[in-house]
Every structure is written in structure tokens, then in C-alpha cells.
Amino acid sequence: MTAPKKVVLAYSGGLDTSIILKWLETEYGCEVVTFTADLGQGEELEPARAKAELMGVKDIYIEDVREEFVRDFVFPMFRANAVYEGLYLLGTSIARPLISKRLIEIAEEVGADAIAHGATGKGNDQVRFELAAYALNPDIKVIAPWREWDLSSRTKLLDFAEQHQIPIAKDKRGEAPFSVDANLLHTSSEGKVLEDPAVSAPEYVYQRTVSPEEAPNEAEFMEIGFKRGDAVSINGEEMSPATILTKLNEVGGKHGIGRLDFVENRFVGMKSRGIYETPGGTVLLEAHRGIEQITLDSGASHLKDSLMPRYAELIYNGFWFSPEREMLQAAIDKSQEHVTGTVRLKLYKGSATCVARWSDHSLYSEAHVTFEDDAGAYDQKDAAGFIQLNALRLKLLAARARHLKK
């Protein structure tokens, strides 16, 4: 690859990306522009600016993208009720295309010919960052230092940092017990003390939720309003997408909701064990399922559920900006035209349960389903012909089987 002249780096301000910043300058002799996204990770981002300035960076981008993240990425995903391998709510996966999008946009703004990220060569994130980048700019160069350099151990990283006067936080001198990725949708903890799936995760790993045992002994009830498949209010108060998710995280975390100990199949081929906390997302998924129960036609609902695993896998594997994801999204969004109404939830010791739902768009007919007199809304005799027609092929199969036994 031709040495880049200017690189936009996805920069957290942590040790690894600070080392990458200096490595890019020394390895390629290029100018580095940093981009730090506020995705709701809960950390102060100004230290990242100060650190970048200290390292001589001239163009520093620090942006609050929480609203865009929830509105344009999280909410569309939740319209699909997307869950990877039956359990994972895709908190890390869904953030990567937004970061890549901004990296590409900034590269165009500043005239950079390359972008760089800090994902390792073993994980999914390298795939997600780069597939998104190439989908948006096929000519962009992507630099992945973990696949190129010889800094293959924590000791070598620290030696490089000391050699180049890169500030090292005191708690980074020993190996971290586990790595954490966080955004407004979830926290993800992996590695070190979590690598053996036969060993229970220590309680200190959890950062966003109390243990269900320590959660309040009284249930809390809340109402979430939906419009066309997206949450728009909590307890009657309209809020922005990011504000809603922030509130749901707070309440869900207080009740110990959204913990997941999960061994997943990475796109690159290996299995990995992670501890995920998605309190707000878990509450939101239950609520969305609840409002769909009365507003979504059975045919549309069942088709949508059959599409969901493929949709979730596309997001997990990094194909957010692919035509097939956009095709599925169009079908999913069409299904949400009448998913409007309100859901009441009960939050209690690790669980979020839908206990009531109502909507002006409801398909639920009490007249048809009642065990009392339905005043002619439904003629039960009609069911006999329905059953006979559906049983016809089964009768023919049974008759053939009986004939062949003779």
C-alpha cells in the first residue's frame, strides 16, 4: 500500500489508540486527524481532546452523535426485534457503521486519503469498520495497525509508549482484567477473567446494572408510547430517541434488567465469551413486541420474524450498508406503519414484562375472541369446514400409509 499522506483515526484517547496515533506518524510519516464519537459510553471526552493536542494533532473532531446513533441505527434495528443467535441485542455491532460513516465524511472534509481503526485482527470489529468504509468510499485506504505492527504484547505496547512519551495511566501498567466497549445501547466486556466460559463472571464486571438480587423489592410500572414502531414517550412525556434510551437504561439498570453471559460465533470463525449489559434495550424490545402483538397482522408478523435472524446476522457481520440489509429494512419499516400505541411494563428483579397494551390501530377484537356471547360476530360452525380443508392432505397421507401397510 502506498504510504498515506493524511489519516483519520478513530480515537478514544486510551492507551491503544494513542499508541496507534504515534505509530501512524512514525511508520508512515503522515498527518493524523482524530475522530472521537460520543455514543453515550458514559465517559468524559474532553481528556481525549487534551491528549490529542498534547500529541500534536491539529485537526481534532469530537462529536456528540447520540441522537443520530439511536434515531438512525438503534431504532431501525429494534423495529426488526433483531437478536443475534437468539440472545444478543447487537450493541457493539450497530455502533460501528456510524463511526465508519463519520470517518469517511471527515476524510472527505479534510482531504485525507486513509482512515485507521484500533480493532484487532481476531475480532468482528475490523470487518464491520472496513466493510462499512468500503461501502461508502470504495477508494479509501484502511489501516489496521494490529494487523501490521510487531507490538504483539502489552509489554511492547508500554515500551513503545514510554519511548515516545505517551502518557500511561497508572492502572494500565498491569494487564487490565478485561476489555470494555460501551455506548448508549450496551456495555460489552470480554477477555482475561472472562475467557474461560466454565468460570462464572465476577460481579465487578457488571457496570450498568445491579444484580437482580440487589434490585428493589417492589416492582416498578412504566408506560412506553410508540409511533410507527419507534418509542416516542415514557409515561406520557415525549422525549428524543437518545433521551428515551438513556431513561430506559437508568430504570432498567436499577432493576437488574438486561444482563447476558454469552458465547457467540464470531464472523471470523472463532467462538468468544462476552458479558453484555443492555438494560434499556431489553426493556425496549419487550415493549416493542408488546405493541406489535395487537397492531401487526399475523401474516406480516410471522414473515417479519422469519426475516429477523438474517437481518440480525447482517448487522453482526458488518453489512449495515449492504443492499440486502436495506431491502430487509424497507420490508420491516413497511410492517411498522400501524405499530402505534402504548405499552405498560412491569420491571422487577431482572425482568421486564409487558402487562398491558392499547392502540387506536389495534387489530384485537374482543367481540371475536370473547368466551361470552359474541352477538353473532363469529359463527363457530365455520371452523368445521376450515378444519376439514386443512386436514385433507393429512387424511390422504394417512390413507396412503395405511394402504401400504396391507
Phi, psi at residue 15, to the nearest 5°?
A: -60, -45
> Considering 12, 38, 93, 96, which one is annotated as catalytic?
96
All cell numbers assigned to 379: 359463527
Domain boundaries, the chain: 6-175, 180-296+338-358
Mean pLDDT of the chain: 94
Which helix H or strand E contains 254, and what residues bound it?
Answer: helix 241-254
Distance CA 85, CA 263 (A): 10
Answer whether 27's CB lies under 8 Å from 4's CB.
no
| pLDDT greater than 80 at residue 167 | no
Distance CA 222, CA 244 (A): 12
The pLDDT tens digits for 200-223 are 999 999 999 999 999 999 999 999
What pLDDT score does 1 carry? 64
DSSP state of 168: -
Active site residue 139: no
Distance CA 43, CA 169 (A): 15
The pLDDT tens digits for 329-339 are 999 999 999 99
> Considering 38, 125, 181, 230, which one is annotated as catalytic?
125
| pLDDT greater than 60 at residue 181 | yes
Q: What is the value of pTM for the model shown? A: 0.94
> Considering 59, 179, 362, 374, which one is annotated as catalytic?
179
Burial of 321 (0-12, 13-18, 19+ CB in 10 A): middle
pLDDT class for 172, splitting at 50, 70, 90? Answer: very low
| pLDDT greater than 80 at residue 174 | no
Distance of CA 37 to the CA centre of its chain: 16
Report the SS3 class of residue 353: strand
The pLDDT tens digits for 248-282 are 999 999 999 999 999 999 999 999 999 999 999 99
Report the SS3 class of residue 164: coil
DSSP secondary structure, 363-400, as one string: ---HHHH-SS--TTS--TTHHHHHHHHHHHHHHHHHHH
Task: Note whether 6-175 and 180-296+338-358 share their fold.
Answer: no
What pLDDT score does 325 carry? 98
Q: What is the third-level CATH fold of 180-296+338-358?
A: Argininosuccinate synthetase, chain A, domain 2 (3.90.1260)
The pLDDT tens digits for 48-92 are 999 999 899 999 999 999 999 999 999 999 999 999 999 999 999
Q: What is the third-level CATH fold of 6-175?
A: Rossmann fold (3.40.50)
| pLDDT greater than 80 at residue 370 | no
Active site residue 266: no
Active site residue 365: no
Report the pLDDT averaged over residues 380-391.
95
Distance CA 255, CA 211 (A): 8
Distance CA 383, CA 346 (A): 37
Active site residue 100: no
Report the pLDDT averaged over residues 35-54.
92
